[in-house]
Amino acid sequence: MESELRERIRRLLTEHDPAAAHPGEFLRARFDAGLAWVHFPPGLGGLGAPRALQSVVDAELAAAGAPDNDPRRIGIGLGMAAPTILRYGSEEQKQRFLRPLWTGEEVWCQLFSEPGAGSDLAALATRAVREGDGWRVDGQKVWTSSAHTARWAILIARTDPDLPKHRGISYFVCDMTDPGVEVRPLRQITGEAEFNEVFLTGVRIPDAHRLGAVGEGWQVARTTLDNERVAIGGQAMPREGGMAGVVAATWRERPELRTHELHQRLLKAWAGAEVARLAGERLRQQLAVGQPGPEGAAMKLAFAGLAQELSALEVELLGEEGLGYDDWTLRRPELVDFTGREAGYRYLRAKGNSIEGGTSEILRTIIAERVLGLPAEPRTDKDTPWKELPR
């Protein structure tokens, strides 16, 4: 299989010279050659090959100077929307959405969280009411990354308030250019507005843009959430990658800042980062033979704790120098850049890591119940119709 893969790469590079081809043209050709995500089925950007072979493709194309699809900019589409569409979408949906999603021609966002539901996502109140061959959606979503740049959104809404909260939800693809979609910036502690609140007023969604059966949206959403946690916390990292490398470099370059107490804390955090890196490698090996499961919650939980620990350590190491950062203005960034910014920014932005992608408290519950097999927390509302729940 690997020899066939390398031959496909050779043909792609011969027919589409990376130095001469337009980046979009090259990426579309790469998708059509089955070299986008090799574990996807033929015709959908893949070859049905083992996921582990993706590293072979990425390495050879990078060495040839081929353009990538800017994965950080389209991370929600790649890490959350695509695996959900692949698993639950119709053939027409897969053909329509996956190619422009992977090439970066269409950015995606996630309309899940709501201001009235908090960490209990299943308590959402956004309503989808059947009208003819489609649905009318009204409600409000919050903490929506990339909503200000997105073309499409994955959306969950309540379609039957008479059922218990987990059973009356359906899952849709929402057109962010619909006139009923209003995106407002949320200014964060960093001074920026990478997140948004989204108001949905009479948004019309055709039934052809529903993923999964009516009322089974929670099951579909769990697939998205499992993939989201892996996307956030399970990325491949070299030793001293990410925040661990940034803080270690500061330690080596600035000996005048060192103290014994900070040294001990750095050693502890460095070891924790290495444990998380190796655990992530094992998780990716498991992914190569199946769908992500609840183990991704542990990776995301570890990532959040390490990011906050390391960013706090860096600020203390730098003292007054670490308190400020440039460009404290209301910016609308397309992506978050932890390693390319100042220590003060990293410290403030890391506070959100234990909220986004599932709060750390919720992740601990998932790990306890679905990984360790501990008794479930009492849930007195699980059989109560949603409309009867206090809000």
> Among 92-101, 178-187, 261-270, 339-348, which stretch is predicted with the lowest mean pLDDT?
339-348
Domain boundaries, the chain: 1-68, 221-371
Judged by DSSP in three states, 81 sits in: helix
Q: What is the mean pLDDT of residues 149-167?
A: 97
Question: E strands within the chain?
Answer: 108-111, 127-131, 134-141, 152-158, 169-175, 181-186, 195-206, 210-211
What is the per-residue pLDDT across 300-318, written as a single tens digit (0 to 9) for each?
888 899 999 999 999 999 9
- Name the amino acid, one letter, at 184: R
Q: What is the mean pLDDT of residues 187-192?
A: 85
Among 228, 295, 309, 314, the one annotated catalytic: 228
What is the per-residue pLDDT across 50-71, written as a single tens digit (0 to 9) for each?
888 998 999 999 999 999 999 9
Supply the pLDDT for residue 288: 61
Question: Is 228 in the active site?
Answer: yes
Question: How far is Cα of residue 357 from the mean position of the Cα atoms in its chain?
Answer: 7
Confidence at 328, pLDDT banded by 50, 70, 90: low
Q: What is the mean pLDDT of residues 108-118?
A: 93
Q: What is the pTM of this model?
A: 0.88
Question: E strands within 142-247?
Answer: 152-158, 169-175, 181-186, 195-206, 210-211
The conformation of residue 42, written as its DSSP 8-state character, comes to: B
Confidence at 327, pLDDT banded by 50, 70, 90: low
Helix spans in 2-147 (H): 2-15, 23-32, 54-63, 75-76, 82-88, 91-103
Residue 188 has pLDDT above 90, yes or no: no
Comparing CA positions, the residue from 108, 128, 90 lying closest to residue 217 is 128
Distance CA 218, CA 210 (A): 13
Give, in order, the Cα–Cα distances in Å from 28 to each of 20, 32, 57: 15, 6, 15
Judged by DSSP in three states, 340 sits in: coil
What is the per-residue pLDDT across 292-301, written as a single tens digit (0 to 9) for each?
667 778 888 8
The conformation of residue 78, written as its DSSP 8-state character, comes to: I
Residue 92 has pLDDT above 80, yes or no: yes
Confidence at 330, pLDDT banded by 50, 70, 90: low
What is the per-residue pLDDT across 231-289, written as a single tens digit (0 to 9) for each?
666 666 788 888 899 899 999 999 998 899 999 999 999 999 999 888 877 777 766 66
Comparing CA positions, the residue from 28, 21, 49 lying closest to residue 37 is 49
Supply the pLDDT for residue 370: 84
Query: What is the average pLDDT value for the chain, to the nearest integer?
Result: 90
Comparing CA positions, the residue from 143, 196, 200 lying closest to residue 358 is 143
Residue 150 has pLDDT above 90, yes or no: yes
Supply the pLDDT for residue 342: 86
Judged by DSSP in three states, 175 sits in: strand
In the chain, the percentage of residues whose pLDDT exceeds 70 is 93
Q: What is the mean pLDDT of residues 87-100?
A: 97
Tokens of 241: 């990658």
Looking at the DSSP assignment, which residues form a beta bridge with residue 128? Answer: 137
First to last CA, the chain: 55
Judged by DSSP in three states, 66 sits in: coil
Supply the pLDDT for residue 191: 83
> Among 211-225, 274-288, 367-381, which stretch is predicted with the lowest mean pLDDT?
274-288
CATH class of 221-371: mainly alpha
Residue 109 has pLDDT above 70, yes or no: yes
> Among 90-99, 156-165, 266-275, 318-327, which stretch is predicted with the lowest mean pLDDT?
318-327
Question: E strands within 159-228?
Answer: 169-175, 181-186, 195-206, 210-211
